[in-house]
Amino acid sequence: MALFRYLRRKKISLLVISIVILVFVFTSPYLSYLKLSLANPFKFPLYLANLLGAEIKALVSYRANLIENIRLKQENDALRQKLVSFKEIHEENARLSALLSFKKNSPFLLIAARVIAKDLANWTNSVLIDKGLGDGVRQGQLAVTNLGLVGRILEVSKSVSRVMLLTDPNCNIAGIVQRSRETGIVSGSLLGKATMRYLALDSDIAKGDIVLTLGLSENYPKGIIIGEVVSIIREENGISVSAIIKPKVSLSNLEEVLVIK
């Protein structure tokens, strides 16, 4: 029994001594120095390991950012394409609505047609439309938009027709100045404009005047806008005056037309 108590006291004493030693070891500045001394041989490997870890982390971060940027760019491109498509649809609807309104309120019987190509096979300033004999289109009829005159039908097949634009030199249309009521012949010039010829020397025509079709035949109804006078040509010793006319319709951007039956 006495031996048991002795051993018990011995254990308690050893435990206390052990705790004291541990506290001393972990709080002693000598231990920190010892740790640093032991770390000296591993300084360069530890530096390389830390540098490698940083590079790997940066590479992973760069790749993640790159993938995210590619995804955002693809989304941006898709949204941009949708915006372009919506704008194109909006502009087409606006054009078609204007043509439909003009067709509804026009006193003429009109055939709606779409421009399918510029005719490059002939020496004429013309376009092809997707309507022909089967749709009621005939040679000599006028093509217009809601803004004004486009030209006249030059050739017709079953389902396609060729429209000679009013800027073609072979396109001659009788015109009248809306303000002064003077008349002349309007011909194309291949420079995106037309010329009104055979005006009197004392003509009152002026810049800004609007020129309309004169309407000398059933194929050329009266009162369709041809364009606006942009300059006057008065040649010395000439027998007449000419006027340069800018077409009211933008013929270079033509997409739809109406053919007057």
pTM, two decimal places: 0.64
69-97 per-position pLDDT tens digit: 787 777 777 777 766 666 666 666 666 67
Q: What are the backbone dihedrals phi and psi of residue 86, each rounded to the nearest 5 degrees, phi first?
A: -65, -40
- pLDDT band at 57, cuts 50/70/90? confident
223-243 per-position pLDDT tens digit: 999 999 999 998 767 788 999
